[in-house]
Structures are given as C-alpha cells and as structure tokens.
Amino acid sequence: MRRRDSWLIVLYWADKPSSMINFIIRVFKRFAWFKRLNAKVTYELLAKRIPAEEWQFMNYGYVPNENEKPLDITLPPETQRYSLQMYHYLASKTTIEGKHVLEVGSGRGGGAKHVAGVLKPESYIGLDLAQSAVDLANKIHQLPNLQFFQGSAESIPLEDNTIDVVLNVESCHAYGSVDKFLSEVKRVLKPGGYLLLVDFRSVENMNLLKQQLKNSGLKQLEEENISKNVVQAMEAEDDVKKERIKKLVPEKWRKLFGEFAGVVGSKLHTNLINGDRLYYRFVLRKEN
C-alpha cells in the first residue's frame, strides 16, 4: 500500500471515531486480554464521563411473561423500569429474603439497590471491575444491607462457601474467561446456593455459554430464551432512551452510544429480532 493511501485510511477513520472503535472491537474481541481491557476502559470511562445519577442501569430491559406476577410497586417516573424488571424477575427465581447475595458486574448499582431494598436480603455485595462505577454506586445508593466493591469476576475477593445467591446481569459476555468466573462462583457459593444469570450472545457463543454452564459443576435448573421479552423492552423504552442519550452524550458519540444502548434499529435490536443474537436467562444451583 502506498503511503498516501495509508494516510487516506487514517483520515477516514479519524473522521468516523465510532466506526473505528467498532472495527477495533470486532477484530480484537476474540482475545481474552482485549476483552478484559475493553471492559475496564469502557466502564471506567462511562461512569467517569457520565456520572448522571438518574442513569442507574446498563442492561437492555425485560418485559415479563404473562405468567409472571406484575410488579406492584410505585417507581419514581425517571426510573428505568424495564432494566429494573430484568433484575426483579431474575432475582425472583429464588428466595432472596434473609440471604447473603453477591452481584458480579453491578455497574451503576440500580439493580442492587432495587433487590437489596425490596427483596430484603440480609446482605448484598455489588462487585464490579470498574472503580468509577463502584464509587458512583456507593455515592447514589445507600442502604444498610448494601455495599459495592471493586474486583474481578475472575478472582472474586470473598471466602469459600459464604454466599447464598450470585446474580449476574448482562456482564459475563465481557469476561476474559467465563470458565474462571464460573469456578469462582462455585467456590464462593454455599452448598444449595444459586447462580441467577442473564446475558446475550451470538448463536455460536450462546451454545458455548450453555456448554460452559454444563461443565461448571453447578446443576442447571432452568434455561429460557428471553430475546422477545428484551426486544419488547427495547421498543417500549426507545423514545425515553433516545432523549436520555441526547441529554447526556456529546453529538459525535451518539451513534456509537445508540448502538451500545440498543436503540430501535441498532445492530443488537435487529439481530435479537432475526435470531442472529440470543438473550437467555439461566438458573443454576450448587449441589454440594
């Protein structure tokens, strides 16, 4: 390639920062070291650059099935209702009251606050790789049974057999090694303890995740494709989400951010509809 052509390519990318970032992520995300670095940089930056206290969730949301009891609590109008429902219906898969709960990948802490406040565990620890997300969560959510710590899913800073329920919401796609995460979950769970997990993947990677869960030594009790519930939530919340992006994100980053946030017409929204991506919910238990 001639030098002038290389400069043209550099100028093309420099003019389109979001396309460049998407391209780099697509190429490198097969490497575990890059996934760890990408998660750390992305989520540190997000909480640092957008410390808005009203933005408390980072999952795509959930509309419950007909057989799930409607949420009968009054929420402040600015609440991201569908993201909160993702937590509520996942946590409702087992008893939370009086239990010791660990959430891995707690983000900005809105889900932790809801579960710790409404479902009344004895204690709730939110663990996240990004120190700035942990600091933000500790600042905006204060409850006597709730604390947030920095730490990695692949090396959980807790003693063996101390936790009754591990929650994991739309986080493990970002880990360098899901196998390491699952062996850490098994180590910290008490016998009889639960892992409740939701996340999305390509079809191939969802098959891999199912295999990893099978090999984890935990017993799988439930597996459910909730893609349509997530698409419904994305569509129901789209106007509000776009307004929030307009308010919080500088113009040149809005397109990239819209993709990340799963607005209607984004790649993720389209792929969840056509089945190229899948969103699943799993319930597992440690037997001994």
Q: How many CB atoms lie within 10 A of CB 45?
A: 12
Shortest distance (Å) from residue 16 CB to ligand SAM: 24
State in angstroms the smallest separation of the CB of 87 from ligand SAM.
7
Pick 103 or 164: Cβ nearer ligand SAM: 103
182's tokens? 């699952």
Q: Which residue is nearest to ligand SAM (CB)?
A: 107
* Residue 137 parent element (H or E): helix 131-140
Query: Using CB under 6 A, which residues numbered 60 to 119 contact ligand SAM?
Result: 104-107, 111
Count of H-run helices and E-run strands, the chain: 12, 7
Chain residues 130-149 in contact with ligand SAM, contact rule CB under 6 A: 130, 133
Q: Between 130 and 182, whose beta carbon lies closer to ligand SAM?
A: 130
Residue 126, interface with ligand SAM (CB under 6 A)? no
| Cβ proximity to ligand SAM, 16 vs 138, nearer residue | 138
Determine which residue in the list 90, 129, 182, 196 makes contact with ligand SAM, applying CB under 6 A. Answer: 129
Residue whose tokens read 């099935």:
65
- Cα–Cα distance, 121 to 201 (Å, whole number): 30
Backbone phi, then psi, for 7, in 5-degree steps?
-65, -35
Q: Which two tokens stand for residue 180?
A: 């390491």
Report the residue from 154, 164, 184, 199 that binds ligand SAM according to the rule CB under 6 A.
154
Residue 39 or 146 with smaller CB distance to ligand SAM: 39
Does 170 bind ligand SAM (CB under 6 A)? Our answer is yes
Taking the least distance from each CB to ligand SAM, the nearer of 54 and 287 is 54
Does position 152 interact with ligand SAM (CB under 6 A)? The reply is yes
- Binding ligand SAM (rule: CB under 6 A), the pick from 39, 218, 230, 263 is 39
- Please, what is the minimum distance in Å from the beta carbon of residue 211 to ligand SAM? 20
Contacting range for ligand SAM; rule: CB under 6 A; set: 62-70, 116-124, 151-159, 278-286 = 151-159
DSSP letter, residue 155:
B
CB of 253 to ligand SAM, least distance (A): 17
Among 146, 166, 174, 231, interactor with ligand SAM by CB under 6 A: 174
The DSSP annotation for 207-268 comes to HHHHHHHHTTSSEEEEEEE-HHHHHHHHHHTHHHHHHHHHHHS-GGGHHHHHHHHT-TTSHH
Paired residues of 115 in beta bridges: none
- Does residue 57 belong to the site contacting ligand SAM (CB under 6 A)? yes
Cα separation of 199 and 157, whole Å? 23
Which of 56, 51, 109 has the alpha carbon at shortest distance from 79?
Answer: 56
Q: Where are the beta strands (DSSP E) in 107-154?
A: 123-128, 146-150
Q: Which residues are near ligand SAM by CB under 6 A? A: 39, 43, 57-59, 104-107, 111, 127-130, 133, 152-154, 169-171, 174-175
